[in-house]
Amino acid sequence: MRHVTKDITNEAVTDYLTSFYRPLSSELGEFRIQCEEEPVPIILRETEDFLSTFMDVIKPGNVLEIGTAAGYSAMFFAEKIRSFSDSDQPVVFTVEKDEEMHLRALREIDRLDYSPYIRCYLGDCEEGISKIREDDSSMKFDMVFIDAAKSNYKRFLDACLKVLSDEGIIICDDTLFQGRPALEDEIPPRKHRTNTLALREFNSAVKNDPGLSSTLIAVGNGLTIIKPIK
């Protein structure tokens, strides 16, 4: 019988994958544990492992993040870029709609000394991008990471495509949403219904868009990697 679990593969595989996880720094490792215990939304360990190697391959000069939460992933991106770049300028631009989370992220980023490398913007996706473009109208991003309200992923994608560099990549997190979008013959529980239905539509729209090359992979809670076809 098919069913939804926290792990979209299975518990043993997930445990095996996470056994290889190593944080980029002890400070980030401690902050991860703190976020996991609270709990605060944070990229999964196997997702971080994948993104670490992926970024080594594409070597983005900067990252746009939609959905800052407590700031962990923004600091991870900044630390990763600094491992292959000597830039002393901001390399991560992150947007958060929730003011409380935005303020929490600012405190954590300052506490762990990442403020020189990260710019935080308060607002919805389009509002944040507009503020970024006000600071620099020519700003383009080599990598975009979308991890915010799942029901708005299509709108977020459309906005981010406009500020993507020529060789840029967009990554959307949680697109398998605990496996729920895959169970199309089952009605999702009410509290998950909006996100599940929206992600089904989003996954289908992305895959069927002739202007996009994309893949949906079962890493973490599902990752969709998107590149516009020129």
pLDDT digits over 119-148, tens only? 999 999 999 999 999 999 999 999 999 999
Alpha carbon 111 to chain centroid, angstroms: 22
Q: Report the pLDDT value the prediction gives residue 5, as an integer from 0 to 100.
A: 45
Query: How large is the average pLDDT for residues 84-111?
Result: 95
DSSP SS3 for 121:
strand
Q: Residue 144 has what pLDDT?
A: 98
pLDDT confidence of residue 2 = 42
Confidence band for 190, pLDDT divided at 50, 70 and 90: low
**Domain region containing 195:** 11-228
Stated pTM of the model:
0.92
**Domain-located, residue 3:** no
Q: What is the mean pLDDT of residues 71-75?
A: 98
* Number of domains composing the chain: 1
The reply to whether 2 falls in a domain is: no
- Residue-averaged pLDDT of the chain: 91
Beta strands in 4-68 (DSSP E): 63-66
User: How sure is the predictor about 1, in pLDDT bands with cuts at 50, 70 and 90?
Assistant: very low
Band of pLDDT at residue 92, cut at 50, 70 and 90: very high
Per-residue pLDDT for 186 more than 70?
Answer: no
CATH number at residue 145: 3.40.50.150
Domain assignment present for 4 = no
Distance between CA atoms of 47 and 220, rounded to whole angstroms? 5
CA angle 138, 141, 144 (to 5 degrees): 145
Those residues whose C-beta lies under 8 Å from the C-beta of residue 158, and which sit 6 or more positions away, are none
Helix (H, G, I), strand (E, B) or coil at 168: strand
Q: Is residue 166 part of a domain?
A: yes
Q: How confident is the model at residue 196 (pLDDT cuts 50, 70, 90)?
A: confident
> Which token pair is 82?
């600094």
Helix, strand, or coil here: 170?
Answer: strand
Neighbours of 34 (CB within 10 A): 15
Classify residue 37: in a domain, yes or no: yes
Query: Per the domain annotation, does 56 fall within a domain?
Result: yes
Residues constituting the chain = 230
Rounded to the nearest 5°, which phi and psi values hold at 168? Answer: -70, 155
Distances (CA, A) of 19 to 22, 46, 75, 80, 179: 9, 9, 22, 20, 22
